[in-house]
Amino acid sequence: DADVTQTPRNRITKTGKRIMLECSQTKGHDRMYWYRQDPGLGLRLIYYSFDVKDINKGEISDGYSVSRQAQAKFSLSLESAIPNQTALYFCATGQELTDTQYFGPGTRLTVL
Amino acid sequence: GESVGLHLPTLSVQEGDNSIINCAYSNSASDYFIWYKQESGKGPQFIIDIRSNMDKRQGQRVTVLLNKTVKHLSLQIAATQPGDSAVYICAENRRGNFNTFYFGSGTKLNVKP
């Protein structure tokens, strides 16, 4: 969905490096989410934010941090990447009234 | 149906046939459900949703059925086309600790020409 963009789309890094994944949206939604997807598993929530001053941990927040720089921008950081953080990462946006979430194209992260 | 694990369940259908993809959800308190389509290399795309006060909802070529008694959700695709080949994921809003969605691992739909 072109309304939700993620950069980079692919990244290969080494253990111990700091990585930032960025998400931008033009949908005007207040809510933003970060998920990871592993082969054969459902999307799992890392962090979410309901507005610029609101940050909440999801079910698998350990090893990650986020920053909500503006309504349209929500970044995910891996302070010290480890191999089991190799996964597909998706950003999503949503609005309260409909609950529906809209996903970005994903970032494929490989940690060696 | 959907399951957690390394291998996704796969449904193979002939082009033109109808497809039925099933999903079992776990929380009777869930009140909103979404079906997503995820094509290779892309993020999940919204297909259709349903709230718990309904048992059926129709879209263009797709129908979602909700059976709250047995906590079961299904997605029916009419006249399946090759472009429907993808992984289909159901999501439930459990209204729990995170006030967001829990996603199944998905079912892979393979449409044979």
User: Which of B95, B98, B102 to mutate to test binding with chain A, by most A CBs within 10 Å of its CB?
Assistant: B98
Provide the shortest C-alpha distance from residue B108 to chain A (in Å): 10
Average pLDDT taken over every residue of chain A: 93
pLDDT, residue B5, reads: 36
pLDDT, residue B94, reads: 74
Give the long-range contacts of residues B79-83, CB within 8 A, separation 24 or more.
B79/B16, B79/B17, B79/B18, B80/B13, B80/B14, B80/B15, B80/B16, B80/B17, B80/B18, B80/B19, B80/B109, B80/B111, B81/B15, B81/B111, B82/B15, B82/B111, B82/B113, B83/B111
pLDDT, residue A97, reads: 57
pLDDT, residue A42, reads: 87
pLDDT, residue B31, reads: 86
Provide the shortest C-alpha distance from residue A4 to chain B (in Å): 10
Residue among A88, A91, A103, A7 nearest A49 (CA): A91
Provide the shortest C-alpha distance from residue A111 to chain B (in Å): 19
B31 CB within 8 Å of a chain A CB: no
Residues of chain B with pLDDT under 50: 1-6
User: Which of B90, B103, B107 to mutate to test binding with chain A, by most A CBs within 10 Å of its CB?
Assistant: B103
Each residue's pLDDT tens digit, A90-105: 999 988 756 788 999 9
